[in-house]
Amino acid sequence: MRDMADEDGPGSPVPDQETLDRLSRSATSLGYEVVEVSGFIDHIDGKASGQTPILAQARSGAEQILAANRAVIEALDAIRASTEHSLAAVEQSVAVVQSSGARTQTVAEWVQALDARMTEVAETLKEVRKHNGAVTSIASQVNILAINAKIDAARADNAGRRFAVVAEAVNELSRRTSDAAAAILESLTTLTQWIDTLRGEATEVARTASGVLEGGQKTDEALAAIAANVRATRNEASGMEAQARAVARAGQDFGTYFSRIETAVSETVGGIGQARERVHGLIDKSEAMVQQTVALGGGSADAQLIGFIVARAAQVSALFETALAEGRVTRKALFDFSDPPQYTAPFLALTDSLLPPVLEEALKFDPKIVFCAAMTRDGYLPTHNRQFSRPQRPGDPARNAANCRNRRIFDDRVG
């Protein structure tokens, strides 16, 4: 086999048929393996290339999350500052209300004590009226006694006249005492009425004061609860702000790792692309090996297909040469076409009339043959097998792609 790589010359050995067949089969097998590897690498390349925009989107999403988290931190900071001001205002209000409540409580307690004192005064007035009644009764009895003394003195002699003077004085005293008692009774009656009225008002005020005390206590409790809630909100906002800042730090670290992953993926994509190009080169070399070994006479599973394709290509070339010689088409029209995006060409009428018999007959040669078509060097396929040349069906792109393959450009590797 080493001699086969040398240039042909005198004494160059000719490889035997068995060696050529073995070499051809090995080249064919190698070609299949390389094509499978190429397909796998193409698949990986497509997947890896598809990861790049996904990573870009993920990076953009992470940046949006970080931006949103920064906004959350700013909002939480504003909430915390606002709650600090609110807490200070509430605590100041609580202090003011508590101070006012203390004064109100003092007044209310004084009013309640006043109500109790009014009750005591009323009871004292009752006792005074009772004693004043006793004084009036005594004055009345003294008055009667004085009158009797005067009567007795009038009956007596001159010695009884002095007793009459005393009796008159006692009578005058009893009268004045009775008048004073009557005046005191009138004043006590008026004072009692005033005290009763004042007592009634004091009782109502005392009842109101009790309500004020109870309401003041509830107000203190409500304000204390408000202050506790504001304080809890402030603490919660501070805790959330700390957590958001921790998320921000983690996001920054994640961004660094993300950049490393993105760089690694980019390098991987580049490496896969290079491997892809090299494998495509191997495909070319393996196909050349198969073609050369078959051309030397080596047996291959695809030898018949290769020979058939070469013969058909020669037949198509002969038909085109004849058409050129007969003037049915010009050379410029055969190797040029006007609007590739519209998939039209000046030679379509010629290819549609000449190629179908050749292309349809090729499908009968081997079950492995799926289609047979002649293409330009630019990948333009003017005329295809009938089963792939069906009319377009509007609104059915998947069906059209599979069944309407004529008048199309296939500029991929196979094309």
Cα-Cα-Cα-Cα torsion 15, 312, 337, 329, nearest 10 degrees, comes to 120
pLDDT of the residue at 165: 66
Beta-carbon contacts of 289 under 8 Å, excluding residues fewer than 6 positions away, are 23, 27, 30, 31
What CA–CA distance (Å, rounded) separates 316 from 310?
Answer: 10
pLDDT of the residue at 258: 61
Query: Strands 380-381 and 408-409: what pairing?
Result: antiparallel
Q: What tens digit of pLDDT does each residue of 109-119 get?
A: 776 676 676 67
SS3 of the chain: helix, strand, coil, percent, to 5: 80, 0, 20
Tokens of 138: 């005594």
User: Where are the chain's structural domains?
Assistant: 67-259, 302-415
Q: What tens digit of pLDDT does each residue of 336-387 get?
A: 644 334 478 889 999 999 999 999 999 999 999 999 999 888 889 999 999 9
What's the pLDDT band for 1 if we cut at 50, 70, 90? very low
Contact yes or no for 354/394 (Cβ under 8 A)? no
Contact yes or no for 337/347 (Cβ under 8 A)? yes
Contact yes or no for 67/252 (Cβ under 8 A)? no
Beta-carbon contacts of 273 under 8 Å, excluding residues fewer than 6 positions away, are 45
Contact yes or no for 94/223 (Cβ under 8 A)? yes
What's the pLDDT band for 5 if we cut at 50, 70, 90? very low
Contact yes or no for 309/358 (Cβ under 8 A)? no
Q: Is the pLDDT of residue 298 over 70?
A: no
The domain 67-259 is classified under which CATH number: 2.150.10.10, 1.10.287.950, 2.60.120.200, 3.30.420.40? 1.10.287.950
pTM score above 0.85: no
What CA–CA distance (Å, rounded) separates 14 from 362?
Answer: 34
Burial of 39 (0-12, 13-18, 19+ CB in 10 A): exposed
Smallest Cα–Cα separation from 152: which of 178, 175, 138, 171? 171
Q: Is the pLDDT of residue 267 over 70?
A: yes
Tokens of 196: 């009763």
Which backbone phi and psi does 27 adopt, to 5 degrees? -65, -40
